[in-house]
Structure 1
Amino acid sequence: MPREHPNQEPAPTTPPGPVAGLLLFPGAGADRDHRTLVAVEQALAPLPVRRADFPGRAAGRKAPERAPVAIAHVRAEADRFASDLGVNPDRVLLGGRSFGGRMASMAVAEGQPAAGLVLLSYPLHPPGKPDRLRVEHLPDVDVPVLAVSGERDPFGTPAELTAHLATLGGPFELVLVPGDHAPRDDGRVADAVARWIARA
């Protein structure tokens, strides 16, 4: 759902093209082979997609990194992926599931260049704790954003997502699919990402 800014032309809801690739990170406790991330990669072929683990998971730990460590890792991986593709980092889309998407959004808010963000099942707050919001950085995100979430996601209801994504510094689109925090229909999620990128 695009958002318009007063006294300006309507902002596009697609990332600036051409997009050179998509870098995805998993949720807390998952790894780069999470089924949804794999489905997105398959749906976007032949666009280059890299699925990256966080350091702790690669070392066998299940608990997620502290945010500063995870954000630094996102920035390093984004720069490495752009270098491997032979493009500037602002040609690369960043994102991921849950914790991974949140860390990617925080990296962009802290200045990491990106073509846009793909946020799958973004965790606005812990389940049952809507007062513990994780949204302070959103106004500093000034790139196009696609958010895809389950209609019954306990980490953020459709109404909550709509309200808080409206604080983003750039244009956004929210796509709701059947399911909770881990929608079973990966095809619906992947198709939403593919259609958004195809409009670039």
Structure 2
Amino acid sequence: MAALTRPGPPVVAGGRSAGARVACRTAVELDAAAVLALAFPLHPPGRPEKSRDGELLAAGRPTLVVQGGRDPFGGPAEFPQPAGEHPYELVEVARADHGFAVPKKADLTQDEALALITDVVAGWLDRLGDR
């Protein structure tokens, strides 16, 4: 299927968890300008040998991955090195899980974790607009 051509502002394909996988798989077909992957499920919990890194690396668009530091579906240290024409950018939310919840004893509060995510995504979108 040929990529769509649409008038108006650029589209950013995005999603959280399984939605992030779908965004990566469909970005080229949607003619998306970029991909936002929140809590990308790199592998099933406890099954790192079942990596889904191919989906992430094949997004074909500039990609931002925001990942919890203690995500059982793949922590930031487990992600492959970004490479290619459209390497992805990875931002860790320290101590956050797959739903971006942080423990009460964490160095940052839940509100601070959500503000971090919002600020990172907003800054990334601003930089996309500068391209």
Aligned to 1:187, which of 115, 118, 125? 115
Taking structure 1 as the reference length, what is the TM-score of the superposition? Answer: 0.51
Equivalent AA in structure 2 for residue 140 of structure 1: A
5+ unaligned residues in a row in structure 2: which ranges? 102-112
Residue equivalent to 1:134: 52
The RMSD of aligned alpha carbons is 2.2
Gaps of 5+ in 1: 1-78
Task: Encode CA deviations 1:2-53: one digit per residue, 9 max, x unaligned.
Answer: xxxxxxxxxxxxxxxxxxxxxxxxxxxxxxxxxxxxxxxxxxxxxxxxxxxx
Question: Could you say which structure has the greater relative contact order, defined with CA pairs below 8 angstroms and 6 or more residues apart?
Answer: 1
Shift of 1:137: 3.3
Q: Residue 166 in 1 paired to residue 82 in 2?
A: yes
Aligned length: 113
Three-state SS of the structure 1 residue aligned to 2:53 is: coil
Local SS of the residue matching 2:90: strand
Note if contact 1:138-1:168 (Cα within 8 Å) is conserved in structure 2: no
Tell me the residue number matched to 1:87.
8
SS at the partner of 1:146?
strand
**Counterparts of 1:186 and 1:139, CA distance in 2:** 26
Q: What CA distance in whole angstroms lies between the structure 2 residues aligned with 1:145 and 1:157?
A: 17
Shift of 1:189: 1.1
Structure 2 residue 70 is matched with structure 1 residue 149: no
Deviation at residue 168 of structure 1 after TM alignment = 5.6
Return the alpha-carbon distance in structure 1 between the equivalents of residues 22 and 34 of structure 2. Answer: 14
Identity %: 39
**SS of residue matched to 2:36:** strand
